[in-house]
């Protein structure tokens, strides 16, 4: 044994070619994965030092004893590391470079055996080696830009020298995970082999390098030297990429562009200087609020996944499901279930509705074939997972039913009572309702303990969130099975308690309330849209209402007004009601706040419609200019306050789940971290002062809660990790 640590062991062994080599194995104790925490990086330094002290070694094999190689740095440490400041982070990165450079400079060939995920710092470990062999189960990538930072341990330096600047920019700016075929094609790995042949292939590579068949020294020299691009080639590669990536990333996410600049600045430099440029840029990005919030999102996502995982462990298997109501929504749910491998019955009372649902599923599978994600044969096979039916004949074998009929309480109550008589004692019933109380829908059921809400967001195949709504009588078993099914469909389930609008819609409608106030006071709705899009929303409120549909918005608003009359009931008409009464439903009939025309791809494209302005005059005051800051405060304050109320009322358990639901459900700007992170960043006291001032003019929708005022006085925050 050369070295023994908590995460790393190094042993001496002989290859078939008779060479004595060191095998460095990552196997972090008491963890299912390998990650590079500060402690593990320190061990790696000690292990490399021990290897350097050994005599007569002819090679190094780096491998993992887990199902993954190394998933990256330990992100749970990031906030506390970022708190230490820019100079500390730069120095820390340079120390890691010293360790990684020591691997790269060993006086014999080195090879990495990539058995599973090798991401971030794990991928950067691979890049230090002369050779890389990947199992067919492997994947590699540098996803740091998704956290608002860039690869800081040599990724921006080594990857361009291994696979070329263009390819490296694509991998780093896109933050993609790359499969074996892609990695081999790019030259990121030297061979892809069957999983059980991985170690043998890696050892064979060392033998061939020692025999002089493979030139590891020239590879090494290339990684340490400047990039082989002349000035014109550099300009073509980097300037073109900057323009394209800036368009994709948008103004709120600086990391992808910064990564390109780091590769560009380091292109003409040798290793040490290029690494110093990278270390400095990483430290600078780590100090931004974007990095802080995106790391916070990752940690929140882990909280959500952990909670869902606990439910999943308690769940009975969900092997066969059914959806009631074909249509677009039912077809989307059937597609999602079938595509992830859970067979589903699709029932409706009309043959044409069934055909519409199947058409929707076929269309979505067809797009997967077009994108080469599926072969036509795979599509045909997955389509067999959807079985259309007009009767309840096969329902006794169904484990879980999703009711997705029209959003009308009486219709839903009737359908749920009917299906309950046609399923087994233990079948879980769920309703895909966006607003109707689960307690109300449960009243006519014989087994309300087997019933909960399962609220999908439209379009089902794109939106990651599923709200699982627990009613007063819902059992833990029903919640667990529904969570497990949502996870099996590739969705992120968040469990919430019953109330009008549940979590997401309850929070969204005060935002629309803020929009209505602005329009009534003379704001131009197109200006409001532009300001909120600049703020980071994927679409402004008027455009979003057109997408949601004015009929849906009016119905949901009535539910909210009934549930929370003190702050959500309104006297007189709103702009939304004016649109609805004039049959301007939005994209459903090509006219709402905007008019819609088909673009070249057949998708609806919004255009200004003067008729909308004429109609709004019924409720709008004289046109008035509002500053961007005013608009943001008036739109965001009610949304954030309602999120606070949902947390205080126990509708949602944790700030992490509340914020993730808004990001996954309504496109809250991820770089801002969620509504509660947003309040923390502003300062609870500042936010409360802003809300109180607005509530004097605009009423209870803007009034902070007593508990929030108390938090402001005590200097408290929603997140303890906030800098």
Active site amino acids: 455
Distance CA(257)–CA(624), nearest Å, equals: 38
3-state secondary structure 474-496: CCHHHHHHHHHHHHHCCCEEEEE
Alpha-carbon distance of 565 to 167, in angstroms, equals 57
Q: Which positions ≥6 away from 52 have C-beta within 8 Å?
A: 102, 106
| Widest distance between CA atoms in the chain | 89
Distance CA 367, CA 459 (A): 14
CA dist 593 and 591 (Å) reads: 7
How distant is the alpha carbon of residue 496 from its chain centre? Answer: 20
CB 660 within 8 A of CB 721: no
- Tokens read off for 628: 């961007």
Q: Which of 550, 545, 624 is nearest to 581 (CA)?
A: 550
Of the chain, the end-to-end C-alpha distance in Å amounts to 43
- CA torsion sign for 56, 61, 63, 65 is negative
Task: Identify the three-state secondary structure at position 113.
Answer: strand
DSSP state, residue 145: G
Query: CA-CA distances (angstroms) from residue 377 to 365, 380, 386?
Result: 11, 5, 15
- CA–CA gap between residue 213 and residue 122 (Å, rounded): 28
Alpha carbon distance 359, 688 (integer Å) = 50
**Rounded Cα–Cα distance for residues 575 and 351 (Å):** 38
**Residue 663 CA: distances (Å) to CA of 297, 311, 449, 464, 639:** 9, 22, 30, 9, 13
Structure tokens at 464: 């990651």
What is d(CA 722, CA 85) in angstroms, rounded to the nearest whole number?
Answer: 14
Instruction: Could you list the beta-strand ranges (E) of 142-261.
Output: 191-193
Tokens standing for residue 667: 């496109």
Helix (H) or strand (E) holding 383: helix 376-383
Structure tokens at 239: 């300037």
> Can you read off the two tokens belonging to residue 322?
């059914």
Q: Do 701 and 510 touch, CB atoms closer than 8 A?
A: yes
C-beta of residue 451 within 8 angstroms of C-beta of residue 276? no
Say if residue 459 is preceded by a cis peptide, omega within 30 of 0.
yes
Distance CA 482, CA 488 (A): 10
Q: Are 184 and 192 spatial neighbours (Cβ–Cβ below 8 Å)?
A: yes
How far is Cα 662 from Cα 538, in angstroms, rounded to an integer? 13
Long-range contacts of 362-369, Cβ-Cβ distance < 8 Å, separation of 24 or more: 364/331, 364/332, 364/335, 364/339, 364/461, 365/335, 365/339, 368/339
Q: Rounded to whole angstroms, how far apart are CA atoms 126 and 71?
A: 12
Structure-token pair, residue 576:
């939304």
Contact predicate 512/553, CB 8 Å: yes
- Tokens 């030139």 belong to residue: 215
> For residue 138, what are its two tokens?
């492997």
Given a contact cutoff of 8 angstroms between Cβ atoms, the answer to whether 333 and 402 are in contact is: yes
Which backbone phi and psi does 474 adopt, to 5 degrees?
A: -65, 130
């Amino acid at each position: 044994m050369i070295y023994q640590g908590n995460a790393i062991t190094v042993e001496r062994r002989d290859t078939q070619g008779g060479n004595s080599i060191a095998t460095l194995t990552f196997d972090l104790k008491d963890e299912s994965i390998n990650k590079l925490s500060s402690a593990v990086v320190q061990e790696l330094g000690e292990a490399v030092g021990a290897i350097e002290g050994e005599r007569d070694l002819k090679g190094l094999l780096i491998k993992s004893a887990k199902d993954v190689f190394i998933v990256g740095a330990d992100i749970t440490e990031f906030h506390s590391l970022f708190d230490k400041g820019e100079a500390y982070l730069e120095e820390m990165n340079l120390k890691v470079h010293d360790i990684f450079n020591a691997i790269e400079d060993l006086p014999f060939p080195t090879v990495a055996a990539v058995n599973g995920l090798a991401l971030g710092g794990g991928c950067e470990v691979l890049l230090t080696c002369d050779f890389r062999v990947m199992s067919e189960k492997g994947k590699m990538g540098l996803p740091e830009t998704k956290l608002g930072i860039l690869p800081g341990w040599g990724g921006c330096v080594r990857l361009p020298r291994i696979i070329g600047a263009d390819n490296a920019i694509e991998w780093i700016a896109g933050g993609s995970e790359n499969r074996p075929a892609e990695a081999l094609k790019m030259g990121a790995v030297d061979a892809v082999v069957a999983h059980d042949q991985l170690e043998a292939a890696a050892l064979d590579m060392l033998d061939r390098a020692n025999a002089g068949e493979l030139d590891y020294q020239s590879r090494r020299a290339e990684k340490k030297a400047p990039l082989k691009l002349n000035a014109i080639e550099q300009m073509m590669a980097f300037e073109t990429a900057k323009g394209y990536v800036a368009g994709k990333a948008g103004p709120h996410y600086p990391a992808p562009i910064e990564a390109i600049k780091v590769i560009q600045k380091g292109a003409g430099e040798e290793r040490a200087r290029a690494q110093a440029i990278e270390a400095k840029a990483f430290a600078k990005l780590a100090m931004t609020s974007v990095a802080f919030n995106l790391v916070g999102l990752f940690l929140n996502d882990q909280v959500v996944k952990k909670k869902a995982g606990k439910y999943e462990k308690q769940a009975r298997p969900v092997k066969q499901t059914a959806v009631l109501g074909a249509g677009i929504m039912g077809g989307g749910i059937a597609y999602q279930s079938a595509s992830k491998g859970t067979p589903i019955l699709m029932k409706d009372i009309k043959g044409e509705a069934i055909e519409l649902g199947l058409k929707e599923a076929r269309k979505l599978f067809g797009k997967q074939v077009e994108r080469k994600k599926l072969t036509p044969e795979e599509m045909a096979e997955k389509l067999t997972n959807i079985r259309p039916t007009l009767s309840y004949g096969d329902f006794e074998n169904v484990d879980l039913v999703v009711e997705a009929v029209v959003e009308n309480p009486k219709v839903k109550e009737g359908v749920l009572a009917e299906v309950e008589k046609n399923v087994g004692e233990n079948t879980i019933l769920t309703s895909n309702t966006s607003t109707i109380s689960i307690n109300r829908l449960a009243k006519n059921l014989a087994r309300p303990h087997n019933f909960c809400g399962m609220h999908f967001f439209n379009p089902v195949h794109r939106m990651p969130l599923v709200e699982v709504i627990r009613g007063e009588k819902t059992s833990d078993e029903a919640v667990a099975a529904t969570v497990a099914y949502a996870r099996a469909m590739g969705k992120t389930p968040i469990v919430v308690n019953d109330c009008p609008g549940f979590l997401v819609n309850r929070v969204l409608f005060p935002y629309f309330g803020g929009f209505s106030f602005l329009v009534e006071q003379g704001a131009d709705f197109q200006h409001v849209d532009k300001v909120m899009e600049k703020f980071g929303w994927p679409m402004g409120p008027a455009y979003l209402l057109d997408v949601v549909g004015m009929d849906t918005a009016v119905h949901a608003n009535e539910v909210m007004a009934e549930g929370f009359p003190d702050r959500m009931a309104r006297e007189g008409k709103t702009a939304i009601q004016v649109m609805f009464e004039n049959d301007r439903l939005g994209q459903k009939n090509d006219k709402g706040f905007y008019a819609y025309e088909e673009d070249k791809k057949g998708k609806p494209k919004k255009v200004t419609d003067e008729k909308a302005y004429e109609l709004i005059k019924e409720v709008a005051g004289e046109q008035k200019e509002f500053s961007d800051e005013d608009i943001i405060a008036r739109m965001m304050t009610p949304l954030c306050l309602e999120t606070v109320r949902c947390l205080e009322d126990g509708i949602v358990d944790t700030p992490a789940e509340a914020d993730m639901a808004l990001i996954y459900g309504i496109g809250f700007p991820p770089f801002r971290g969620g509504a509660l992170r947003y309040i923390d960043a502003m300062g609870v006291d500042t936010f409360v002062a802003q809300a109180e001032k607005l509530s004097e003019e605009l009423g209870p929708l803007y009034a902070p809660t007593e508990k929030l005022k108390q938090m402001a006085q005590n200097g408290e925050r929603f997140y303890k990790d906030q800098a």
